[in-house]
Amino acid sequence: MLKYIFKRFGIMLVTLWIIITLTFILMINVPGSPFNSDQSSNETIQANLEAHYNLDEPYHIQYLLYLKSIVTFDFGPSIKQPNQSVNDLLGRGFPISFELGMMTIIVAVISGIILGIIASLKHNGFIDYLAMGLAVLGISIPNFILATLLIQQIAVNLEILPTATWSSPAHMILPVTALATGPMAIIARLTRSTMLEVLTQDYIKMAKAKGLSPWKIVFKHALRNALMPVVTIMGTLLAGILTGTFVIEQIFAIPGMGKYFVESINQRDYPVIMGTTVFYSAFLILMLFLVDIAYGILDPRIKFHKKGGE
Amino acid sequence: MKKLLLFLLTLTTVAVLVACTANEDAGQEPDDAGAEETEIEQAEDESASGEKILNLNNSVEPTSLDPSIGFDEVSWIPLNNLMEGLTRLDQDSVAAPGVAEDWEISEDGLTYTFHLREDANWSNGDPVVAEDFVYAWKYMLAPETASAAAFLGYFIKGGEAYNNGEGSADDVAVTAIDEKTLEVVLEAPAGFFLDVLTNPAFFPINKKIAEENPNWHAEAESFVANGPFMLESWEHDSEMVFAKNSEYWDVDAVKLDKIHWAMVNDTNTQYQMFETGELDTASIPPELSDDLIDGDNVYIGNYGGLEFFRFNVNEEPFQNKNIRKAFAYAVNRQEIADFVVKTGVEPAYGFVSPGFTTPSGGDFRDENGDLVSFDTEYAKKLLEEGMAEEGYTELPPIVLSYNTSDTNKAVAETMQSMLSENLGIDVTLENQEWNVFSEAQQNLELQFSRSSFINDYSDPVNFLESFITDSYMNRTGWSNAEYDELIEKGKSETDEEKRYEYLYEAERLLAEEMIVMPIRYYNTVVLQADGVEGILRHPVGYFDLKYADKN
């Protein structure tokens, strides 16, 4: 197990290095500079700005500077918000995105699994169709549309909840609902289909024959096996949701880190691009790693010391 | 069973971890949320007891509240209300006394001597002294500061040399004669220098504070203001609260007690917040323009800016003046303004936008009249002449480029159909992401491309100067000695009446050559809640809340 973790860690570092290098190469090849704007300017000012952010150095020096900033975990100041370091931006935005993401995941997983179980138990019944109908709706309605709808109906028309910003628990209900619906629907459908498969297995029949209560069969015997595919998608889902979603944060004016992924690239804010890329990649790799570990716990057939699992 | 235990253990660990982070957050959040709630409660209590709080939206975090660095609207708006320069734009958007009570200008128009108010103080009680201006301006011009606003300081003698590294700080001709007297010597006379001084780039910096803590402007705790308001709190990326600055010399004129700034960047959300009363002003989402624009609570004002298209004179067929003009006369600007851009914008039949007051008190735009019109017959005639001059039987292919945006796309498509309908020219459209587009335009790689200009200060020369030979803002390849000379005179002539004559002439020459074709002026359209009044919205893009009131 330990050997496996070390090996994974090594691979993770190499992967990160490749990502960083590719990002750097892409970054210097995209035309434009962070200092393009509608406003008046001149050559001297552009030169001063470039010198200030070391953009006048040859590319290999810039590359080394980037590597150094990553190793020391100090990405320097953002070009577009010069009084803030990239660390400040991420340090401030991530906890908020994480909070929003965590609530979303909890809501999505719990309600998704429950919906899935109910649907599978009442297979082809009214409740099944209702639950799956909801799930299809959840998957097909993009979250930004749902978000706008929720604001219009619940905040503006009914005036039950506040419209936007992130300042009290009441402010969190709408964004979490908007964000959780999609993943919830995916999880519900996955749970339902795997549950249906598992419920026809011999060992479930055996359990029934033994006279175990239906609840015990579902939670103790069926669910554990039915959850494997859900765990598989959790890694990517977690990384995506926990590091912030641009659209939902934009609509609800939530000061998370989602916007930096998009805006830094539009604005050619190089340090922020590097910072967010490294952060997101590291987080994603870590999540995939945790998922692999979770497999081992859920499925005893997977052993880490043997390459390739089973 | 062991496996199950392990699974449960992992689950609990995860749960505890989550709880911990939640708790950590909770440790802060309830504090914050609590503070905020009490603040809101207080606010409600206080508004009941007559405290006036205005709720506004700055859309995003200000780039920087360092006056030399924050060179954009989202920084200017807060800065203009937190601080004050020597002069301040008044009700008519004309430079009026600010920190400077009065001033003398030498005969040759080169030396300005400003007398600072005795009662002008910083929010920490320090007096605002001449040295604070000297410090701020030299800081702005220092190459290491890398201020995007530095070019505004080139009016000052020695300013450009210091900024490009050829001169030194000591050669910049701004001196503190005594504590309350400031002397500035200009490179050349500039009749609009007092207007330039209203730009936040010329605001003073409290030298004592800045030398102790170069990052004084980054947090509310260390920020010192000298304007009508001071920075009470600042939660980055989330909100700012301004409070009335009791040290401000004209504090009696300030009616608001507090301003609460949200940072909501979504046009629909901010409109919905306005609907629910969480904001006192809002912009109109383009989709709702038709429904809202004629309402009672809509403010429409000038905004110093122009949307236009650049011809690249190095590329065929735009080396020919008549062909350029044919394009300009074939476009129906009124239709573009009314049905494509909407939100009450005005079509542009000249280059300098309305709202610039001439020495005689008129409006620059009215005085110089319309310089282009929509006239298909004339356009066809011009095209024929131009093609004959160049010996074309068929026009070379035309590519119209714009930076990707819904509105730009709609305008470009409309122009495409107008040019096809009125001149029989097939135009290909091409859109690029802003940065790519902007670089290609700068390098003269685009043939016919969209542009916009937003004024930095309140004088027509700001825009017209863009097209002098080799200007960084030229981006057309055009060079005209006569135009260069007119602009030179339009900047340095000391007789204001004459100076404006040169500017009129320069603008007419620009229209005669039609290096760029105007489309429409920018404007300010704001929804304002009932009872909100006195917000001065200046055409240079920032507004003043000094006299604002909310009943």
pLDDT in tens, B313-338: 999 899 999 999 999 999 999 999 99
List the single best residue of B10, B68, B269 to mutate versus A (max A Cβ within 10 A). B269
- Please state, for a pLDDT cut of 70, what percent of chain A lies above it: 96
Of A21 and B32, the structure prediction assigns the larger pLDDT to A21
Mean pLDDT of A75-101: 87
The CA-atom distances, in angstroms, between A23 and each of A172, A238, A263 are 34, 23, 16
- Please state, for a pLDDT cut of 90, what percent of chain B lies above it: 67
B125, B142: one domain: yes
DSSP B439-498: HHHHTT--SEEEEEEE-SSSSTHHHHGGGSTT-TTT-S----HHHHHHHHHHHH-SSHHH
DSSP B265-302: --HHHHHHHHHTTS-SEEPPPGGGHHHHTTSTTEEEEE
- Tell me which of B195, B212, B229 is where a domain ends: B212
Predicted confidence at residue B549, as pLDDT, reads 93
Mean pLDDT of A215-241: 80
Q: Residue B45 — very low, low, confident or very high, per pLDDT cuts 50/70/90?
A: very low
List the single best residue of A41, A163, A289 to mutate versus B (max B Cβ within 10 A). A163
B239: closest CA of chain A, how far (Å): 9
Of B6 and B83, the structure prediction assigns the larger pLDDT to B83
Residues 19-78 of A with CB under 8 A from B: 30-33, 35-49, 51-53
Range of the domain at B40: 2-61+220-290
Residues of A in contact with B148 (CB under 8 A): 35, 37, 39, 41, 45, 49
Mean pLDDT of B159-166: 92
Predicted confidence at residue A155, as pLDDT, reads 86
Q: Residue B350 — very low, low, confident or very high, per pLDDT cuts 50/70/90?
A: very high
CB atoms within 10 A of CB A43: 10
Is B538 inside a domain boundary? no
Domain extents in chain A: 86-298
Q: Please, are residues B467 and B474 in contact by the beta-carbon 8 Å criterion?
A: yes
Q: Residue B1 — very low, low, confident or very high, per pLDDT cuts 50/70/90?
A: very low
Candidate CATH numbers 3.80.10.10, 1.10.3720.10, 3.30.300.20, 3.40.50.1970; the one for domain A86-298: 1.10.3720.10
Q: Residue A268 — very low, low, confident or very high, per pLDDT cuts 50/70/90?
A: confident
Of B417 and A226, the structure prediction assigns the larger pLDDT to B417
- For A224, nearest residue in chain B (alpha carbons): B4
Lowest mean pLDDT among A10-24, A157-171, B169-183: A157-171
Q: Please, are residues B366 and B358 in contact by the beta-carbon 8 Å criterion?
A: no
B503: closest CA of chain A, how far (Å): 19
The residue count for chain A:
310
A97: closest CA of chain B, how far (Å): 12
CB contact under 8 A, A95 and B21: yes
Residues of A in contact with B65 (CB under 8 A): 83
SS3 B395: coil
Please state, in angstroms and rounded to a whole number, the distance separating the CA atoms of residues B88 and B543.
11
Strands B427-432 and B398-403: parallel
**Would an 8 Å CB–CB cutoff place B13 in contact with chain A?**
no
Lowest mean pLDDT among A121-130, B167-176, B323-332: A121-130
B197, B344: one domain: no
The CA-atom distances, in angstroms, between A108 and each of A87, A101, A291, B294, B530 are 30, 10, 17, 44, 42
Residues 32-91 of B with CB under 8 A from A: 32-33, 36-37, 61, 63-66, 69, 71-72
Q: What is the CA radius of gyration of chain B?
A: 27
Strands B181-185 and B229-235: unpaired
Lowest mean pLDDT among A166-175, B106-115, B136-145, B211-220: A166-175
CB contact under 8 A, A40 and B440: no
Mean pLDDT of A209-226: 82
Mean pLDDT of B164-190: 93
A113: closest CA of chain B, how far (Å): 16
A287: closest CA of chain B, how far (Å): 13
Q: Residue B114 — very low, low, confident or very high, per pLDDT cuts 50/70/90?
A: very high
Mean pLDDT of A290-294: 80
Q: Residue A303 — very low, low, confident or very high, per pLDDT cuts 50/70/90?
A: low
The CA-atom distances, in angstroms, between B10 and each of A3, A34, B13, B122, B181 are 20, 45, 5, 57, 71
The CA-atom distances, in angstroms, between B310 and each of B475, B502, B503 are 8, 23, 20
B424, B490: one domain: yes
- Please state, for a pLDDT cut of 70, what percent of chain B lies above it: 91
Mean pLDDT of A237-253: 81
B332, B461: one domain: yes
**Least CB-CB distance to B436: which of A32, A83, A298?**
A32
pLDDT greater than 90 at residue A222: no
B398, B441: one domain: yes
Q: Please, are residues B476 and B310 in contact by the beta-carbon 8 Å criterion?
A: yes
Lowest mean pLDDT among A7-21, B63-77, B100-114, B479-493: A7-21
Mean pLDDT of A209-218: 83
Q: What is the CATH number of the domain that holds B205?
A: 3.90.76.10
Looking at every residue in chain B, the average pLDDT score rounds to 88
Looking at every residue in chain A, the average pLDDT score rounds to 84
Peptide bond into A183 cis (omega under 30): no
CB contact under 8 A, A42 and B151: yes
Spell out the residues 6+ positions from residue B492 whose beta carbon is closer than 8 angstroms to its own: B109, B188, B189, B190
CB atoms within 10 A of CB B172: 24
- The structural domain count of chain B equals 3
A130: closest CA of chain B, how far (Å): 31
pLDDT in tens, A144-164: 888 888 888 888 888 888 888
Predicted confidence at residue B49, as pLDDT, reads 56
pLDDT greater than 50 at residue B34: no
Mean pLDDT of A271-300: 83
- Please state, for a pLDDT cut of 90, what percent of chain A lies above it: 4
B367, B388: one domain: yes
Q: Residue B43 — very low, low, confident or very high, per pLDDT cuts 50/70/90?
A: very low
Of A2 and B290, the structure prediction assigns the larger pLDDT to B290
SS3 A243: coil
Residues 120-159 of A with CB under 8 A from B: 148, 151-152, 155-156, 159
Is B187 inside a domain boundary? yes
Q: Enumerate the β-bridge partners of residue B240.
A: B234, B261
pLDDT greater than 70 at residue A66: yes
pLDDT greater than 80 at residue B32: no
CB contact under 8 A, B237 and A255: yes
pLDDT greater than 80 at residue B424: yes
Is B426 inside a domain boundary? yes
Mean pLDDT of B201-230: 94
Mean pLDDT of B258-268: 92
Is B356 inside a domain boundary? yes
CB contact under 8 A, B276 and A163: yes
B331, B450: one domain: yes
B376, B487: one domain: yes
